[in-house]
Amino acid sequence: MKPVKIGICGLGTVAGGTINVLKRNAELISGRAGCAIDIVQVGSRKLKDHVDLAGIDFTTNVLDVASNPEVDIVVELMGGYDTALEVVMTALKNGKHVVTANKALIAVHGNEIIELAQSKNLVVAFEAAVAGGIPIIKAIREGLSANAISSVAGIINGTGNFILTEMREKGRDFADVLKEAQALGYAEADPTFDVEGIDAAHKLTILASVAFGVPLQFDAAYTEGISKLSTVDIEHAGELGYTVKHLGICRLHPEGIELRVHPTLIPSDKLLASVNGVKNAVLVESDAVGQTLYYGAGAGAEATASAVIADLVDVARVINSSAHAAVPELGFKPKHVKALPVLPMEQVSSAYYLRVLAKDRPGVLAKVASILSDKGINIESIMQRESEEHDGVIPMMLVTHVVCESAINSAIAEIESLADISGSVVRIRIEHF
């Protein structure tokens, strides 16, 4: 079989990993693909010392790669929106398949990219965009293709999970752990994407689309990060039997989908609760097989390269097969993609952990409980702590049963308006899975 020729745009962490793994495992990769995968050109603004480009043409103009007649597959590993979009659209217009690790690009511009690719009978593959090395897109689109999937929930930002784990286990400072995650190459160029949940929302948007066969709707995702999480809530949650994780959750309803990223309490005995460090995990709930859990490295050079190369192998097989046998990008043939909207958070139901700072006097707890009961909110447990830090004010932690977000919002507003309550109520959603 003729070698498949690829051009790589970008020369950062993931590109370096991809070039190294393609060279190191060249023989076994070609055995799986049915042909050699040759890197003919790399485009990047700058050369990087850590990558050996011997025998590979180098250009500082990434658009050269997208229009290079030698190239069969353009591998977009630059990240970002603008230039990446131009490269991908140019590559498709020039009849090239595309492999990308760019979750932001797919989450935001995926619909137009996929439409162009499908109109030209080309493949756009983005396994590396979600959960690094975990083959979750392949698992959902292919391994679970018999199933009606009802929900997907995951720890899909390694940096955030690394920070939460270090804070919980070692009491380390948020900023200090973030710096380490950046040095290790886990964090995004703009780390607010990690700590404010934007990166997780990009990935969740893609997961929801492949799980439910709906268009990509990043703008409608609810996004709440970990930057405002306080260590006291992580400790109190632990005492109540929960672990705080930053989760992306999507759930299918007849009238729309939930699409939300936020800190979440999970019962500490659930497997997801013990996913620590930079590791990612995705829990899929589906009708035939039930729950399946996918765990592994969610970031890092070679872990992400593993997913990039798996896509290259798939596309190489398509190029070398007589029929166009590619799996549809969103798992469903275009006419079966459903235009379901994302539901507003007010319509989402969840259990809640609430932390209320109350004056230490008789009847305050009764007033809080009565507000909750008036709204039909059932309390599962209450914990009260003495606090030396707040003069005459004590923290009360309440765990509720499942309730609609609109009810908890209105209860919180009433609780905050009580004269005996100080400051804002801390609210973290709980999922029992």
Tokens 């707040």: give the residue. 390
Complex with ligand HSE: residue 105 or 299, whichever CB lies closer = 299
Task: Tell me how far apart the alpha carbons of residues 134 and 140 are, in angstroms, rounded to a whole number.
Answer: 11
Complex with ligand HSE: residue 132 or 213, whichever CB lies closer = 132
Tell me the pairing of strands 421-430 and 379-384.
unpaired
Neighbouring CB atoms inside 10 A of 326's CB total 20
Running DSSP on this structure, what letter comes out for residue 342? B
* Least distance between ligand HSE and beta carbon 240 (Å): 28
* Least distance between ligand HSE and beta carbon 203 (Å): 7
CB 1 within 8 A of CB 34: yes
Complex with ligand HSE: residue 299 or 309, whichever CB lies closer = 299
The residues binding ligand HSE (CB under 6 A) are 132, 157-159, 186-188, 194, 199, 298-299
CB 153 within 8 A of CB 272: yes
* Least distance between ligand HSE and beta carbon 192 (Å): 11
By the 10 Å C-beta count (0-12 exposed, 13-18 middle, 19+ buried), 55 is classed as exposed
Annotated catalytic residue 203:
yes
Nearest CA among 105, 102, 155 for reference residue 298: 155
Q: How far is CA 336 from the centre of its chain?
A: 24
Nearest CA among 67, 115, 28, 92 for reference residue 329: 115
* Least distance between ligand HSE and beta carbon 209 (Å): 17
Choose, from 5, 103, 203, 279, the residue flagged as catalytic. Answer: 203
* Least distance between ligand HSE and beta carbon 161 (Å): 8
Nearest CA among 107, 53, 116 for reference residue 87: 116
* Least distance between ligand HSE and beta carbon 304 (Å): 7
Complex with ligand HSE: residue 201 or 319, whichever CB lies closer = 201
Complex with ligand HSE: residue 163 or 372, whichever CB lies closer = 163
Task: Tell me how far apart the alpha carbons of residues 81 and 144 are, in angstroms, rounded to a whole number.
Answer: 31
Alpha carbon of 90 to those of 80, 127, 343: distances in Å? Answer: 16, 21, 35
Q: How far is CA 340 from the centre of its chain?
A: 20
The catalytic residue positions are 203
